[in-house]
Structure 1
C-alpha cells in the first residue's frame, strides 16, 4: 500500500518523468551512436579488405601475366611459389583466407594452410564469377554453420577485357563484433551509472519542489484540525515561495474568519439555548437541521438527536398544512403536546420561510411559544368569572324570590315575613363573605395585604384554635387531639392570618367528618428552620382525581353539599396564598372514606423587623 502511494505521489512522478526523459535521450543517442559506429567499423573493415585485395591484385598481375606467357614450364611453377610466398607472408590477414584464382577459376594459391587442398580446384563462388567477369569491388557477408560472420571481398586481376584472374578474400568479422559488444557493454554501464546519478539528482531536485508542497499539505491538514498556529517557512522568492506567502496569508485570514464565525456561532448557540421559546430550523426538504434545548423540552424528546428528522413527524402536523402556513398569509398554528415533565402543553407555532436571493425558499424556521400558562390563565379567568357570577346569582335569585313573595303579601304575615327576612339576611351575609374573600385574595395576589408578624407561642395558638371550635365539636361529638412536639420555639408570624388558615382547615375538617369522628392538630419543628403544622381528620376524604385542583378557587369536590354548608370554595385558596405570603408551603393528602391531612410549613423567624 505504501509503495502504491509512493507511485501516486508528485515526487515519484517527477523522478519517473525525469528518468524516462534522460533514458529516452540516452537510448536515442546510444542507438544512433551504436548504429553509426557499427556501420563505420564494417565500412572500414570492408574498405581495408578491398584495399588489400586491390594491392594483392596489382602484385599478382605480373605473376599471372608471366605465367600465361611462359606456359606450363618449370619457371611458371617457380612463379606460383613466389606468389604463394607473397600471399602467405606479405598479405597475411588474421582470421582471413586469401585465394588467388586464375582466369579459369582455378585456385592458384591460398593463405590458409587448412585449405591447401583447394589449390588446383575451381572456385565457383558467385563473387569469384563476378570478379572474373571484370566487376570490381565485389563484397558480401555470409554466416557459417557455426554462426561465424564473415566478409567476402573479390577483386579482378587485370582491367578491361584482359582479366587474368581474381583475388578472393574471406575474413572473419567476429573480432569486429566483439569490439562492438565491448563498446556496447561500456555504453550500457555508462548508461546505468548515468541513470543512477539521474535518479539521485531527480530525488534531490524533486525534493526542492515536493518538500514545500508536503509542508503546505501538512499545514492544510493542521488547519483542517483547527490548528492555525503553524506557519510555512518561505525559503525564496520563486513560485513556491510566493505560494507559501499566499498560504500563510490565507491561514491568517481563515483564522480570523473562523474565529469570527465561532464567536457568532457561540452567541447564536447561547441565545438559542437560553431562549424561553423553542426554535426549529429545517432545510428546503423539511429535514431538521437545528433544534434548541427549549424546543426539545417542549416536544418531550429529551436528548435524542432529531437532526435529519422530518418536521412534520416532530410536530405531528401534515406536510401540506406546514407548507401552507409557510407560504400562506396565516403563519400561525396551534398544537398540543403530551409532556411527561410539564404536563400537556399548548404550543403556538409561528412558521417563517428562509429566503435566499437566487434560490427562493431554502428552509423554514418554526418558533414554538408555550402558551399553556396563558391558556390556563385565560381558562381560569373565564372559570373565575363564571364561578363568581354563579355564586352571586344564587343568593341574589333567592333574595329576589323572597322579596317578590313579601311584596305579594307575605309581608302581612309576621311569622312568614320574619322567616323570609332571616333567609335574606343569611344570603346577604353569604355574599358579604364571598366578597370579603375575593377582596382578601385580590390583596394577596397583588401583594398589597399587610403581613404584620409578631412573636407567637405556637402551642398557645393551637390550643386557642381548638377552644374556638369546642361548641361545634361537642355538637357532632367529634374528639380533637393536640399533638404538639415539645420544645417548639416562639416564632414571628402574622397571628391573625395564620389563625384564619387554621380556622379554615379545622372548619373543613369538622364539616366533612361524621359524628363521633376524630380530628388531630399537630405541630413539630423540622430542623432549625421550619415549623410544620398538621390538621388531620378521619372524615369522608377526597377522591384522588380531585387532589390536583383542590386549591383552585371555587373548586368543590361536592358542589351542592359544600354550598349547603355555607362554603364559598375560596377557603383553601386563601389559606395557600397566606402560607405563600409567609414564605411557606402547603400540601394536602387524602384517601376516599379514610380521611384528609393538610400540612403547611412555615420558616422559623425569631427576630423583629420582618413585616411586609
Structure 2
C-alpha cells in the first residue's frame, strides 16, 4: 500500500508539492502543539506551586504553635481539616522524624498505618530547610498530586514540616480543553494547507506540464511548438530557454539532415563499399557500392543483423577479429567472393568505438578484380614472351654449337646453317618490333591526328575514380614490354650484324669467322640466361614454384654458395668471408631456393666490388626468433635515389657495367619474390663509395 502511494506521489510534481506543504504544516502543527502543551502544563504546575506555597506561609504560625506545645492528634486533626477546607488542598503536618502528626485526608485512628514520610523527596528537602516539591501518585489516595513541603522554623531550627497537596485533576481538565482546541486548529490548518498546496502546485506545474508536452513533441521530431512564458521567474526563464533550445535544435537538425544527405550521397557515390557494424552485429551503414558488390539490391539493410544480410564466412571472421583486437585492430585482407559474381575483394577493417564500452567495426570493400587480372596478364605475358623467344633462340644456339663444333669447315653446310640462323634472328627482330610498337602505343608515344566531330551540345557527368594503382600496373606492364624488347634488342642486333658480316664474305676467313661465331654464341647464351630469369620470375609470381620447406642449416648453404662464387671472386681479387655463429638456429625454407637467393646476392656483391675489396656473409638470430642473413660488401654502393627501385625488373644503377658483367637486371627482383615466398623480409642499406649491405630475414624452423 505504501509502495503504491509512494509511486502515485512520485509521478507528479503537483502531488509532491502538495504533499510537501501539507506535511510541513502537519509537522509544524504537531511540534507546536507538543511544545504548547508542555509549556501549559509547566505553567499550570508552577501556578499551583506558587498557590500552595502562599497558602503554606499563611498556615506556618498555626503549625508552629501545634508543634511547640505538642498538641494531641485530635487537635492537630481538627486544625489540618479546618486549614484544608477553604483551599480544597490536602494539608499534612509532619514531625522532624518523618512521622505524620495529622492529615486532612486521614482520620486519627488511621494515622498509625501511615508510613513514615522522612524519605519523601519534598519532605526531605523541607527538613533540610528548603521548600520541597514533587509530582507523583499518592500511595494513600491513589491519585496524582502536586506536593509542596515547607519547613516549620523556630529559633532558626526546623521543628517540623507543613505539606500541602493538590490533585492534578484540575490541570488535566484544562489541558484536555487546550488539546481539543489545538486539534481543531491543526485540522483547519491542514485543510487550508491542502487547498493552498493544490492551488500553488497547479499554478507552478502548469507551465512544466506544457513544457513536458513540448519536449515529448520534440522527441517525436516536431520542433514547431513553443513553451508559454507567463512570468519572469525561474519557470519563465526555463520556458524561454526551452524555446531557444527548440529553435537551435531545429536549425542543428536541419544542418545534420543536410550533412547526412551529403554523407549518404558521397558514400553512395564511392567506388569502394563501406559497411559499419555496431557491437551487437547490427548494420549501422552500408553504401550502395557495398550493396552492389554483395548483390543485395536497392533495399537499405541498416538496423538488420550483419549475419542475416551478409552470407560470407570470411567477412564474419574479419569482423570478429578486428572487433576483438581493440583499438589496434586495423587489418587488411584479400578474399574471393564467389557470389553473386566472381570478384576479388581487398577488405580494410578497423574497430569503431561507440558509446560506453561497445565496440563495432567499419569495413571498406575494394574491388580489386581488375587489378589482379592485370597482374595475371603481366605475369602470363612474361611466360608467353619467354616461350615465343625460346624456340628460335634454341634453334640458333644449336646451329652455332654445330658450326663451332666443326661444321664451319664445310662451306655449303656452314652457309646454309648461317642462313637458317639469320632467318631466326629476323623472326626474333620482327617479334621485338611488334613488342616495341605495342609498348609505344600503350605508353602514348604514338601521335594520332584527331579531328573534331560535329554534333549537338552535350553536357557531362563526372565520376572520379582513383585508378592510380591500375594505371601503375599498366605502366609497369608496358614499361616491362619496352625493357624486355630493349634487353633482347642489344644482343640480337649484335648477332644479326655478325651474321650479315659472315654471310657477306667473312665466312671465307677462318679465324674471323670462328671469332664472330664465338661472339654470337656468347650473345645467345646471354639471351638464354635472360629468358631463364624471365621464366623463373614469371613462375614465382604465378605461384608455379612449389617450395619444399624443411629445416635448413644456413652454414651448409653459405659454404656451398661461397664455393660456387669463389672462382669469380678470385679472378676479381675480391676476398670472400663467412661469419656465422655456432649453434645458429635452422630456418624453414627450400634449400635450393635459399641457395639461389644467396648466389644472386653474393654474385652481385662480387661484381660491384673493386679489386682488394671484401664480401662478407653473416647471420645472427633476430629478437623475434627469426634469423637474419646479411651480405655486406665494400663496393661502389648505391645512390639513395636508386635504392627504392633497385629490386624492380631490369633496373640497373650502372647499365653499361651490368651488361658488361653479364647481368640480366632480374636478379634482385627474383630475390625479392623468393624471400616473400618464404614469408621473409628484404632490406637494403647502402652508402655510395663505401659499400652495400643486403639483409634477408627468414622464419625459424619448427621444433622437431
- TM-score between the two structures when normalised by the length of structure 1: 0.45
Higher strand proportion: 1
Q: Which has the greater radius of gyration? A: 1
